């Protein structure tokens, strides 16, 4: 039984009554292809969202990140195209009152070419789900398509929570800022990173409306994506002794990087009391935030009968909170320099594709505790505070914005995030809409 005021009861009732409209709007958003890379159609979806926000009484602006942010994102290497558009909507309250920022991202993970049984742009609805069941499932069915759980379902829920408040004529004391920001899936540099670093969004409290309805996120790691090149000298493949093999040189670097990861980084940990990591990590014996390294791509050579003169790879370095970009880059280069000390012929280059640092919010944070109480009121479940070895756009809200913040959203193991047949429970989307509406009403108060 939800313990709510009369005003809150009206808002929650409105949300229930308009859930079909909400799902129709979600289907419209899913049909806009915003997978990244390349990240096309950000301008198109921002126009759709802006029109909706204007109709709800918001002050709205679309901000396109300038070229330097494309470069900082590693646009050439990742393969980015199109304007990096971000929509910022402000629902004005009174000056001097708390400001709340809710962030959801407009981009989606890339779509696999094979393995989908549902149209990734279809927004189809079914009554059941062969991949599992949401804890919120009350028989409302499931919607399918790329982004329904990550993160377009969240976009819709934060909008319809505001629509309920606006159309019922309820005034808020403080300002509410809603952003639909781009490129979260590749680091968010030209998205929320741009908005925060340029001072286009400032608030006292934040919610990263992205995650799942299985835990309230308070901690995440940072990451730096490196591009490493080795150079050699081409020669006939049957006379390799007269050439310099760039792949062979990269292999030596990778042996050193693997030793560095296994021998050094896995021992570099940060305890987060009161915050749980995922069960899969705990089964591997990892219950603390832990530095990581992944060699993600490698390419080089033209054919087997030619000594390759160039090899190139991408390496992702997971950073525990407290590690800075400068420290991580210096240490990474020092590992390669150690290889060069043993091989005078090694020629290499290191470039930074993009970077963002980690964070930890205290599980005693009043805003996080208030959120957990609201989730329990709506769902009847007490969610744990959680952490991740990945990173999210909340990095920017905490580190650049200085906000008290947490992350939450639509989805769980059943929803196939980033995988084929992504889906979301319609009842869970409704629950998330109710949760975020109560966050608006209680943090910003009713005028």
pLDDT tens digits, one per residue of 269-281: 999 999 999 889 9
Q: pLDDT band at 2, cuts 50/70/90? A: low
User: Which domains does the chain carry?
Assistant: 6-220+358-444 (3.40.630.10), 222-356 (3.30.70.360)
- For residue 314, the model assigns a pLDDT of 95
Mean pLDDT (the chain) is 96
Average the pLDDT over 45-69 and give the result. Answer: 97
pLDDT digits (tens, 9 = 90+) for 333-385: 999 999 999 999 999 999 998 899 999 999 999 999 999 999 999 999 999 99
75-130 per-position pLDDT tens digit: 988 899 999 999 999 999 999 999 999 999 999 999 999 999 999 999 999 999 99
pLDDT of the residue at 340: 97
Q: Give the confidence band of 74 by pLDDT, cuts at 50, 70, 90.
A: confident
Look up the pTM and report it: 0.92
pLDDT of residue 231: 98
Predicted pLDDT at 77: 82
In tens, the pLDDT along 147-185 reads 999 999 999 999 999 999 999 999 999 999 999 999 999
- Is residue 441 pLDDT above 90, yes or no? yes
HEC string for the chain = CCCCCHHHHHHHHHHHHCHHHHHHHHHHHHCCCCECCCCCCHHHHHHHHHHHHHHCCCEEEEEECCHHHHHHCCHHHHCCCCCCEEEEEEECCCCCCCEEEEEEECCECCCCCCCCCCCCCCCCEECCCCCCCCCCCCCCCEEECCCCCCCHHHHHHHHHHHHHHHHCCCCECCEEEEEEECCHHHCCCCCHHHHHHCCCCCCCEEEEECCCCCCEEEEECEEEEEEEEEECECCECCCHHHCECHHHHHHHHHHHHHHHHHHCHHHCEECCCCCECCHHHHHCCCCCEECEEEEEEEEECCCCCECCCEEEEEEEEEECCCCCHHHHHHHHHHHHHHHHHHCCCCEEEEEEEEEECCEECCCCCHHHHHHHHHHHHHHCCCCCEEEECCCCCHHHHHHCCCCEEEEECCCCHHHCCCCCCCEEEHHHHHHHHHHHHHHHHHHHCEC
pLDDT at 15 over 70: yes
Beta strand 222-231 with 347-356 is antiparallel
Per-residue pLDDT, 287: 95
For residues 133-148, average pLDDT = 98
The set of residues, in sequence order, having a beta carbon less than 8 Å from that of 68 and lying 6+ positions away, is none
pLDDT value at position 198?
Answer: 97
């Amino acid at each position: 039984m939800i313990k709510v005021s009369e005003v809150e009861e009206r808002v929650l009732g409105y949300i229930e009554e308009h859930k079909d409209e909400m799902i129709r709007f979600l289907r419209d958003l899913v049909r806009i292809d915003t997978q990244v890379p390349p990240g096309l159609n950000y301008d198109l979806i921002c126009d759709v969202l802006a029109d909706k926000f204007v109709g709800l009484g918001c002050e709205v602006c679309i901000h396109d990140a300038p070229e330097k942010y494309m470069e900082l994102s590693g646009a050439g290497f990742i393969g980015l195209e199109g304007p990096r558009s971000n929509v910022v909507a402000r629902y004005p309250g009174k000056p001097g009152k708390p400001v709340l920022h809710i962030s959801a991202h407009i981009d989606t993970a890339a779509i696999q070419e094979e393995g989908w049984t549902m149209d990734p742009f279809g927004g189809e609805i079914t009554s059941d789900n062969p991949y599992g069941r949401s804890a919120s499932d009350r028989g409302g069915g499931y919607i399918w398509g790329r982004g329904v759980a990550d993160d377009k379902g969240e976009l819709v829920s934060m909008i319809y929570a505001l629509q309920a408040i606006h159309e019922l004529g309820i005034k808020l004391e403080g300002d509410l800022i809603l952003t639909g920001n781009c490129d979260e899936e590749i680091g968010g540099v030209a998205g929320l990173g741009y908005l925060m670093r340029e001072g286009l969004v400032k608030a006292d409290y934040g919610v990263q409306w992205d995650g799942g309805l299985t835990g309230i996120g308070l901690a995440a790691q940072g990451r730096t994506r490196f591009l490493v090149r080795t150079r050699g000298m081409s020669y006939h493949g049957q006379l390799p002794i007269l050439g310099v093999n760039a792949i062979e040189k990269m292999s030596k670097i990778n042996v050193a990087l693997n030793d560095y990861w296994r021998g050094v980084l896995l021992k570099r940990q940060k305890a987060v009391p009161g915050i749980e990591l995922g069960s899969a990590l705990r089964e591997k014996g990892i219950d603390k935030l832990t530095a990581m390294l992944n060699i993600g791509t490698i390419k080089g050579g033209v054919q087997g009968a030619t000594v390759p003169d160039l090899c190139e790879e991408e390496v992702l370095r997971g950073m525990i909170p407290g590690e800075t970009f400068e420290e991580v880059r210096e240490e990474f280069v020092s590992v390669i320099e150690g290889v060069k000390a043993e091989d005078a012929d090694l020629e290499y280059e290191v470039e930074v594709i993009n970077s963002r640092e980690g964070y930890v919010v205290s599980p005693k944070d009043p805003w996080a505790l208030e959120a957990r109480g609201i989730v329990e009121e709506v769902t009847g479940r007490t969610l744990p505070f959680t952490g991740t070895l990945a990173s999210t756009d909340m990095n920017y809200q905490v580190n650049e914005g200085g906000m008290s913040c947490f992350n939450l959203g639509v989805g769980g193991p059943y929803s196939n995030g980033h995988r084929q047949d992504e889906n979301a429970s319609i009842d869970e989307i409704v629950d998330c809409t109710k949760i975020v509406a109560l966050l608006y009403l209680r943090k910003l108060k009713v005028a």
